[in-house]
Amino acid sequence: MPGRLEGRFALVTGAGRGLGRALALGLAREGAHVAVHYRRSAEGAEAVARNIRELGRESFTVQGDIARWDDVRRVVEEVFGRFGRLDVLVNNAGDMATDQMSWRDLREDVLDRILLVDVKGTQLMIHEVGVRMLEQGGGSIVNIGSRVVVTGSPRAPQYAAAKYAILGLTKSYARALAPTVRVNAVGPGFVETETTLGREDWRSGRREDILGQTPLRRIAKPEDVVPAVVFLASEDARHITGAFLLCDGGMSMVGA
């Protein structure tokens, strides 16, 4: 049976490893041709693109630092040049202070990098792709946020601030690009990527603490976030824009 994104063209940022890798492969399994963006994970990105081509889809890698506008323009121009159009953009690339255990450990270089990538980078990608989607007559943008916007983060306030900004960008561009382009966000909780599994606190009890606070009593794998993104990217969500979909096992339940 054809997938929900059959014949669509997609770009996933930060897709060389972790969640981005799972998202790129998940879109391809739903029928999309996928451009695999990376900044430093060249080997991983090439492997993802190869896996996508093995599924019978078109795929290639594209490198760039999304915190630099010139890089963003070049990336977007290359993707549109090779695909001819872009139906789905997934803004997954983002930094976080994985080694920060307390707000007292704040460093200016970490603060600057997180805000540059998560906020500036996401806005530049939405801006450049959104304009072209308007011109082509349609498209869907899905931003990867975080459940941290519900609870805040005493460990890394700058990370929470950046993810709150993702919500502002999502809602602002959902209005600006309507009715032609839909813009939504997904808020994963803790996801067991390579980075998460390598954290010292994760190996010394934090995983069990998080598990105990999660109603579904499981920690997400990267593949568990894919269905939410596919849903928002597809025509199944044709009447949804400016929305924020939590995907955290119920850990951050909010009222209506």
Q: Residue 37 carries which side chain, given as an amino acid letter?
A: H
* Gap between the Cα atoms of 14 and 53, Å rounded: 18
For the beta carbon of residue 24, count every other beta carbon within 10 angstroms. 31
Q: Which residues belong to the active site?
A: 159
Contact 174, 241 (CB under 8 A): yes
